[in-house]
Structure 1
Amino acid sequence: MASSCWCWFSVYFAASITLGVIAITATIHPSSKNSSPSQEITPLTQSLSRNASRALRKAGYTHMADLLHRSPPFFLPPQNTTFFAIKDSAFRNTSLPRWFLKSLLLYHTTTTKASMKDLLHHPTGTCMETLFRQKNISLTKVQRKSLEINHVKVSNPDIFHGEHFVIHGVLAPFSPLRRQDLQGGSDFIHSPTCRSNQNATNSTTFADSKNVSEWNRIVQVLGSKGYSSFSIALHSVLGGIEKDSMNWGSSATIFAPPDLGLIGYPATLLDRAVRLHVLPQRITYRELSSLPVRTLLKTVVPGEDLEVDGVLDFMPGVVISGVEIVAPDLFTSEKFVVHGISRAFKMAELTA
Structure 2
Amino acid sequence: MPPQLYYPLQNFAASKKHCFLTGKPLTSSEEHVHVFPQWLMTKYNLEDKPFKLLDDSFSTYKQLMLPCSAAANEQYVEPLEREIKAAFAAGYDAVVKLDELKLFQWIGKWLFGVIFNELHAARTQQHAEGEEFSVSQSILQRFTNLHVMLQSLNLPVIFEDFKPFSLFIFKVDNEQGDFNYRDEISTVTYSLRINDFGIVICLQDNGVISRYQDEVYQNIKHQKLHPIQFEEFSARVFYSAYLFNRLPNYDIMPVGDDVYIEATSLRGDSMKPIFDEWQTKTYGQVLESFWKKWNILLFEIIKDPDRPMSFLFDDEGGFRAEVALPK
Q: Please report the TM-score for the alignment, with normalisation by the length of structure 2.
A: 0.30
Q: Return the structure number with greater strand share.
A: 1
Q: Please report the TM-score for the alignment, with normalisation by the length of structure 1.
A: 0.28
